[in-house]
Amino acid sequence: MSHIKGETFEVDIHRLDDKGAGQAVVWRKNEEGNERKLKLTIPYTLPGEKVRVTVEQPHKRRWKSKADTVLEGHSKRVDARCPHFESCGGCVWQHWSYEGQLEEKTNYVKTVLHNQGFDSEVVKDTIGMEEPWYYRNKMEFTFAVDGSLGLHEQGNYQRIIPLETCFIMKQEMKEAVLEVAQWVKENQLSGYHKEKREGLLRHVMVRQSFHTEEILLAIFATEGPDKVSGIDDLTERIEKKFPQVKSLLWLENRNWADRTQAEETHVLSGRDFIYDELMGYRYRLWFDTFFQTNPAQAEKLVELALQMAEPKPTEKMIDLFCGVGTFSLPFANRVKELAGIEIVETSIESAKRNAEDNGITNTHFLAKDARHGIDEVLGHFGKPDLLLVDPPRSGAGGKVMRRIGRSKPIRIVYVSCNPASFAVDIKELEAFGYTLQTVQPVDLFPHTYHVELVALLQRETI
């Protein structure tokens, strides 16, 4: 039986994996009569559902496949809004009511903290969005070899789903991107073939400030604009139809790596950046500037960090992994001195410029890795009263966390985009007398499995 091709099972979804897909287990006997476990990953299913699934190679120990039929659905299962759902790699939870998504995100944060020995009662309910659609201020699209433009198919980077609509970015952004797609089609321009490493067009990036409404539109290609016919027509069309596009860029990228990077930047119209605002502070955003992609919830993160930290005008503060100063500027206005540390030099240059643009003079920004940056700052600056850490998805790591512990700030605010690495990181602080006071999850990416959080840790003073 175990080698019959296309065996069908009825299974219960017992949990979700860390990519938001359903998990099920089947026990069955092999030819020797021994029980064998088959682990199934079934995307677009929800915990507690019963589904029918076909396993094309049942002798495998693991299998990933969509369900043939949902036999018993979750009480909070809903119809997906987007026609691209289940093919596009963007949203994976549109089949779940927003209320259900938020509950799952809260439970996930509680679980990862419990697994590290923390009291999950400190975790509050996830803060969601009033309008969980049209929330992204930045999107990237890829050209297929035939020049059509869209998003990668779920789990298949070879296939591009042509863009018709998208419910997580603003309408103006979508229309500007579709204008580029139409221009490409009319001019019969080719997309880039990754295997053959030939073809012209690679990506389109669009970002828009929800405050200033300025749009940056960037086209990534393997050749300069001087070698492409119809460029003037594109520029005129964008300028005429989308006056809010303040930055129209053509970016040369001949690199083998499939990333939105550039060896040379050509400004077709406007300037090479746009202005955005967060918490009343003005920021300049270039095509490669890291900035929160959900501005409404990003402001919520900053507000929560300020509430938890309670910064005082007599205090010194370190902002670790400070980026372009998203947290640095609002905090700097409330403390005596702030030192920002970030390894990416262009981000530090932006942070300095952003501080200057906003008339903030009590900041010191340092382009260094976190561990050595802390040592240098402590030498000049002395012990911080307050430390904010906002690391990448991989977390800060044990060495950095122990260095933070030894620097003995009274309060630590940790902003995380990955609760699992957060839980591992803060475990390191227990040995230095820190207790976890509160954890507030925030939903920055509705209809996906991602959840961010802001947490406060306090040092016990003896």
In the 3-class helix/strand/coil scheme, how is 41-71 assigned residue by residue? EECCCCCCCEEEEEECCCCCCEEECCCCEEE
Using CA atoms, how far apart are residues 312 and 305, in angstroms rounded to an integer?
Answer: 13
pLDDT, position 157:
65
Whether 73 has a pLDDT exceeding 70, the answer reads yes
Using CA atoms, how far apart are residues 414 and 272, in angstroms rounded to an integer?
Answer: 33
**Six-digit token string for 185:** 């089609």
Query: In terms of CATH architecture, what is 7-72?
Result: Beta Barrel (2.40)
Whether 308 has a pLDDT exceeding 50, the answer reads yes
**CATH topology identical between 7-72 and 103-130+293-459:** no
Per CATH, which fold does 138-278 belong to? Answer: OB fold (Dihydrolipoamide Acetyltransferase, E2P) (2.40.50)
Q: Are 82 and 151 in contact (CB under 8 A)?
A: no
pLDDT, position 143:
93
Using CA atoms, how far apart are residues 366 and 85, in angstroms rounded to an integer?
Answer: 43
More confident residue, 58 or 345: 345
Whether 312 has a pLDDT exceeding 90, the answer reads yes
Mean pLDDT of 260-274: 90
pLDDT, position 4:
46
Q: To the nearest whole percent, how much of the chain has pLDDT over 90? A: 82
Using CA atoms, how far apart are residues 303 and 296, in angstroms rounded to an integer?
Answer: 11
Terminal-residue alpha carbon distance, the chain? 67
**Six-digit token string for 12:** 């219960």
Burial of 292 (0-12, 13-18, 19+ CB in 10 A): buried
Annotated catalytic residue within 82, 91, 322, 417: 417
**Six-digit token string for 39:** 């682990």
Residue 424, classed as helix, strand or coil, is helix
What are the boundaries of each domain within the chain?
7-72, 103-130+293-459, 138-278
Q: What angle do CA 452, 44, 143 make, to 5 degrees?
A: 80
Mean pLDDT of 168-180: 94
DSSP codes, 267-320: EEEE-S-EEEEETTEEEEE-TT----S-HHHHHHHHHHHHHHH---TT-EEEEE
pLDDT, position 258:
64
Is 166 a catalytic site residue?
Answer: no
Hey, what CATH class is 103-130+293-459 in? alpha beta
